[in-house]
Amino acid sequence: MKWSVDLKGTLSPLSIITAFWLKPNTIAYPAVKKETAKGYRGFHTNFLADCIGCANCQDVCMNDAIDMIKTDKEYNSKNTSQCIPRIDYGRCCWCSLCTDVCPPNSLKLEDDYLNVTKHASDFLYMPKDKE
Amino acid sequence: MENKHITIFHGPQHPGITGNMSIELDLIGETIQKATTHVGYLHRGFEKLIERRTVIQAFTIVCRICVPEPDPNEANFAMAVEELAGLEVTPRAQYIRVMVLELSRLAAQFLWMAGQSGSIGLYAVGQWAIADRDLILDLFEELTGARVYHMYIYPGGVRRDLPEGFLERVTTLLIYMKKRLKDYDDIFINNASFKNRAVGVGIISKEEAVANGYVGQVLRGCGIKADVRKDAPYLVYNELEFEVPTQTTGDVYARALVRRAEMDQSLHILDQVVRKMPEGKVMIKIPTHRKFKLPKDDTWVKVESARGEFAYYMAGDGSEKIRRMQVRGPSLVHAYTLLEDLLIGAELSDVALIMNSLGICPPEIER
């Protein structure tokens, strides 16, 4: 291998020393939390007062991640099926097509995305009702 | 002691491999005698899955064909569907698409920089590049709602309009990047360690590149000015000024210089897009997913991804499903014909270096 003296190429990387005085890009998580962007596609919420149980969300979901489940909660009077969507987060890819096709716009994705659980069955997630 | 033939596997679990694939290397000492590419570790059957879904449902799958750079897939898919269905996208949506594609190109080049520098042990560059790529992902998070798989470029336009003040934040990022990229020149591109390792390694001749259908930086690195954005302009690239950087030596270093120059061009394009962004709607009205039908016709669309020409063939049969879709990315030819050829006679320590310079993404081979 031929080696030649490349003075610029040898000295210029030393400018990395200036990085010691730069502010770090990382944050001290969990003490400092990163703010999620508005409109982030996180967990689902479903405003039951608006949900009409039409199952459009179930129909459009290409991963079969949505089941319509009978609800015992208070629901919209137009919801003749008395069913509301339940999401399987083992299958969901957060594409948000289900929220796009929701006629009353009751199903939405919120910026909450942390769910720690010991039970695999908790992947079957019942979207929170809006308060 | 006499050297004997040794066969080793480079990958699929190896930090110097670009994704889930492996290269079987026959060595004498440190010198490679034969290289055989093996794929099949992440076959998910995208093309077949797409045939079983409606057009709208299929749109969510395509971004997964290339993890470092999903947006060219989304753009290709949307453009193919629009061409078949006869849809015309609004100017604002086209400008937003260009912005997303260029930001995505920039993010992909940062990821390449991390891999290429890591392949020769310059890990500080990798840390910086990943941190700077994250600034772009922050913008994607705000614009699309997701950091990596954006699912944003949609048949008929884009799914959301720009958030308030987004263009100002893009401008701030551009100013930062223009300054920041000079630091990368100092510690990586002009670094004597990198030059000594990359100059004269993995040389591809012009004739070979044309004959075998190589694309992207491989082609431009040996002096051929080929770029889909110039040769067959799509979206609004014909309204934007930019150059196609080339080099003549065809080695790893030439490809690195081309990539670095392309980052400058992306910043230049983004600057123009921000200034020229028109007002108007971002989405046209399209039928619902059960009623969206493609005519009995086929089309071939292509875009310039960060790694080269990226094309889709799509055929409709009058139903709401796509009859056939085929993906033609740069990785197949680069990982098989090119990599196998380039590695013969190379040193074992140069495998990661050469491989990273070719822009290989295995999910695209096993689509």
CA distance B58 to chain A (A): 8
* Residue A74 banded pLDDT, cuts 50, 70, 90: confident
**Which residues on A lie below 8 Å from B193 (Cβ)?**
9, 13
What pLDDT score does A115 carry? 85
CA distance A122 to chain B (A): 23
d(CA B235, CA B238): 8
Write down the mean pLDDT value for chain B.
93
How many Cβ atoms from other residues are within 10 Å of residue A67's Cβ?
Answer: 15
- Taking the C-alpha atoms of residue B264 and residue B257, their distance in angstroms, rounded to an integer, is 11
Which pLDDT score, from 0 to 100, does residue A131 have?
65
Q: How many structural domains are present in chain A?
A: 1
Query: CB–CB of B186 and A13 under 8 A?
Result: yes
With an 8 Å Cβ cutoff, are A25 and B124 in contact? no
Q: What is the ipTM of this complex?
A: 0.91
A70 belongs to a structural domain:
yes
Mutate to test the interface with B, among A34, A66, A97, A98 (most CBs of B within 10 A): A97
Say yes or no: A113 contacts chain B, CB-CB below 8 A.
no
What are B151-170's pLDDT values in tens digits?
999 999 999 999 999 999 99
pLDDT reported for residue B14: 83
- Chain A residues touching B53 at Cβ < 8 A: 62
Checking if the pLDDT of B149 tops 90, the result is: yes
Asked if the C-beta of A16 comes within 8 angstroms of chain B's C-beta atoms, the answer is yes
As a whole number of angstroms, the distance between CA B45 and CA A48 comes to 38
Q: Report the pLDDT value the prediction gives residue B258, as an integer from 0 to 100.
A: 97
Give me the percent of chain B exceeding a pLDDT of 70: 99
DSSP type of residue A82: -
B154 contacts: CB under 8 Å, gap ≥ 6: B59, B74, B78, B283
CA distance, residue B32 to nearest chain A CA (Å):
17
Among A100-104, B8-12, B94-98, B181-185, the minimum mean pLDDT is found in B8-12
CB–CB of A13 and B134 under 8 A?
Answer: no
Average pLDDT over residues B248-265: 96
How is the beta sheet containing B5-10 ordered, strand by strand?
B5-10, B22-28, B31-38
Residues spanned by the domain of B47: 5-365
Do the chains contact at A95 and B60, CB–CB below 8 Å? yes
Q: How far is CA B258 from CA B21, B192, B244, in A?
A: 26, 18, 9
Confidence band (pLDDT; 50, 70, 90) for A77?
Answer: confident
Q: What's the mean pLDDT in B314-326?
A: 94
Mean of the pLDDT values across residues B321-348? 92
Chain B residues whose beta carbon lies within 8 Å of the beta carbon of residue A41: 145-146
Rounded Cα–Cα distance for residues B148 and B146 (Å): 6
The secondary structure of residue A118, as a DSSP letter, is S
Give the domain range for residue A93.
44-125
Contacts (Cβ under 8 Å, ≥6 apart) of B74? B59, B62, B63, B150, B151, B152, B153, B154
On whether any CB of chain A is under 8 Å from the CB of B31, the answer is no
Q: How confident is the model at residue A2 (pLDDT cuts 50, 70, 90)?
A: low
CB < 8 Å to A93, chain B: 60, 149
Whether the CB of A91 is below 8 Å from some CB of chain B: the reply is: no
**In A, which residues are within 8 Å of B60 by CB distance?**
62, 93, 95, 97
Q: Is A93 on the interface with B (CB under 8 A)?
A: yes
What is the mean predicted confidence (pLDDT) over B289-294? 89
Q: What does the block give as tokens for B329? A: 């990315």
- pLDDT score, position B310: 94
Poorest-pLDDT segment among A3-12, B193-202, B216-225: A3-12
Q: Please report the pLDDT score of residue B20 as a whole number.
A: 86
Assign 3-class secondary structure to B96-164. Answer: HHHHHHHHHHHHHHHHHHHHHHHCCCCHHHHHHHHHHHHHHHHHHHHHHCCCCCCCCEECCEECCCCCC
**Average pLDDT over every residue of B239-259:** 96
A1 vs B contacts (CB less than 8 Å): 196
Give the number of A-B residue pairs with CB atoms closer than 8 Å. 79
Q: Which residues of A touch B141 (CB under 8 A)?
A: 36-37, 40
Alpha carbons B327 and A33: distance in angstroms, whole number? 40
So what's the pLDDT on residue A73?
Answer: 84
Instruction: Note the pLDDT of residue A4.
Output: 67
The verdict on residue A15 lying in a domain is: no
Q: Residue A1: which pLDDT band, with cuts at 50, 70 and 90?
A: low
**Total structural domains in chain B?**
1
Over chain A, what is the mean pLDDT? 89
pLDDT at position A101, please?
Answer: 93
What does the DSSP 8-state code read for residue A18? G
pLDDT band at B200 (very low <50, low <70, confident <90, very high): very high
Q: Is the predicted pLDDT of residue A30 greater than 90, yes or no?
A: no
Span B91-112, average pLDDT: 96
Residue-wise pLDDT for B27-38, tens only, equals 998 999 999 999
Can you give the CATH number for the domain in which A100 is found? 3.30.70.3270
Residue A67, beta-bridge partner list = A86
**Which CATH number does the domain housing residue B164 bear?**
1.10.645.10
Is the model's pLDDT at A125 over the cut of 70? yes
- Say what the pLDDT of residue B197 is: 93
Q: pLDDT tier at A116 (50, 70, 90 boundaries)?
A: confident
Give a yes or no: residue A25 inside a domain: no
Is the predicted pLDDT of residue A3 greater than 70, yes or no? no
B48, B343 contact by CB (below 8 A): no
Which of A26-35, B311-320, B344-353 shows the lowest per-residue confidence on average (mean pLDDT)? Answer: A26-35
- B57: nearest CB among A1, A62, A94: A62
**More confident of the two residues B310 and B16:** B310
Do A97 and B58 count as a contact with CB atoms less than 8 A apart?
A: no
H or E stretch at A125:
strand A124-125
> Are the Cβ atoms of A37 and B145 closer than 8 angstroms?
yes
Is residue B67 within 8 A of residue B148, CB to CB? The reply is: yes
Q: What per-residue confidence (pLDDT) applies to A67?
A: 95
- Determine, yes or no, domain membership for A4: no
Mean pLDDT for B322-349 is: 92
The answer, for A1 touching chain B at a CB cutoff of 8 Å, is yes
Sort out which chain A residues have CB atoms less than 8 A from B173's CB and list them. Answer: none
